[in-house]
Structure 1
């Protein structure tokens, strides 16, 4: 006999649900909170997730894309073929986990989250077929964000291990890295890390463009904005052929003394 499942929070409930469903899973109409909880569980657990076909509203997927921390972790799961993202037309009104023989609705309450199950086999089979058809017909969604594992590895290769350590420390101190003005975006974070390690603007912007974070023009424009605000400074470095390149460094001030874990909080105070 199937039973309802319960957890202290969304992540715990999702872990219980995914531990029960056999085979591939459809996740239908997740809230942004449920999607974040799924990604958090997926990247931090040692257990292998099943392949999950996510059918989500476009506004939810765009919110994910705007949050670099969530988007880059989700991109890791997409790149490993654990997640596949498509756009849900309309609203289902319940976050559903649907397998060929299992169906759970994720329902949050004040002090816990439940996975309420269905036990009608014909209904479950019909629901799976219905949402599988809707998923197959839906438009794919591109996060346009590189996976965090690849970001970290290539930053270490291109800029150095100290820069990667500072990058990890900054991300670890942030709840969101957004590109819409709400918090530090990924380009600003990368430039701050580069300045702390006195890397060349050419190297960090080429890395950022190659990995898919942003164009060289965006890096250059953001560098100019930070320079105009007195946050970073540059010095010219001669090269054998062509124009000198610019080395990034912090201008005199609190950021020059901050370690990686303090970088984000100090920068946000200066920027505000």
Structure 2
């Protein structure tokens, strides 16, 4: 089934799911909005079936803003690793957000709380558009995702630290809509430290893990730990070692956090940080 007709839906998710289900081998997503990129990653991540190859060409600044959210970035990295998604940077000069296939061109239009994909299958126009945007996507610079894929995060947490901390990390992450650390959610370093503190993990172990897989440097983990400690969310206790300075074991520092289940941890922490 190839999309040739106009689509109308309550939200982007429905439009994108229909397009991804249409049976095309490849989709070009040109000049998307930030909301479109976020929805695309979300729908593709949850998609049950074979996905087409999706090439996104978007403004560099827009992509940087989108991947500030760890949830979006780590899921996008997963799709990139699987060979399903590519992210390229372009000028973003088109007036509309477009989805282009070999057989149709769809313009995404949002009006109020409705979203439409206005389609044309005029053969000459579609052929020209497809050729133009394939060339543009091939020539566009690749956008470098610095966030590790969520699969790498999960597997390494379980292997390097424990199955329990991996499960708690997943639970905390699933309780958040965004993970930016700018008041819209806790960032990935804060989440990692809180989950580590819930499980009495050494600061050395969680910060080494985070640096090794590319979440953040040990220095960033240390600075964030100090901030959370100063605010009373985290405590530490010294653990002697055979050689060198004692290491620090992370503990939750507030009774409300200690009493919270993993799915409540983020909400309680956010309330204490505001």
> Could you state the TM-score of these two structures normalised by the residue count of structure 1?
0.95
1:206 offset after TM fit, Å?
0.7
Q: Secondary structure at the match of 2:67?
A: helix
1:142 and 2:144 equivalent? yes
1:95 offset after TM fit, Å?
1.4
CA distance in 2, matches of 1:39, 1:137: 23
CA distance in 1, matches of 2:95, 2:48: 31
Of 17, 20, 27 in structure 1, the residue corresponding to residue 19 of structure 2 is: 17
1:182 offset after TM fit, Å?
4.1
Q: Partner of 2:235 in structure 1?
A: 233
**Mapped contact 2:103–2:121 kept (Cα < 8 A):** no
Greater CA deviation, 191-200 or 151-160?
151-160
1:181 offset after TM fit, Å?
5.3
**Mapped contact 1:118–1:124 kept (Cα < 8 A):** yes
Q: Secondary structure at the match of 1:66?
A: coil
Q: Partner of 2:122 in structure 1?
A: 120
1:21 offset after TM fit, Å?
5.5
* Structure 1 gap segments, 5+ residues each: none
> Could you state the TM-score of these two structures normalised by the residue count of structure 2?
0.94
In the TM superposition, 1:1-272 aligns within 5 A as 2-20=4-22, 22-180=24-182, 182-272=184-274
Q: Secondary structure at the match of 1:146?
A: coil
Any idea what the Cα deviations from partners look like across 1:38-73, whole Å, max 9, x if unmatched?
111111111121111100112220121111111111
RMSD: 1.6
CA distance in 2, matches of 1:136, 1:223: 43
CA distance in 2, matches of 1:253, 1:19: 48
In structure 2, do the counterparts of structure 1 residues 252 and 10 end up closer, same or farther at CA, with 3 Å as the change threshold? closer
CA distance in 2, matches of 1:253, 1:107: 49
CA distance in 2, matches of 1:94, 1:205: 43
1:111 offset after TM fit, Å?
4.4
CA distance in 2, matches of 1:230, 1:111: 42
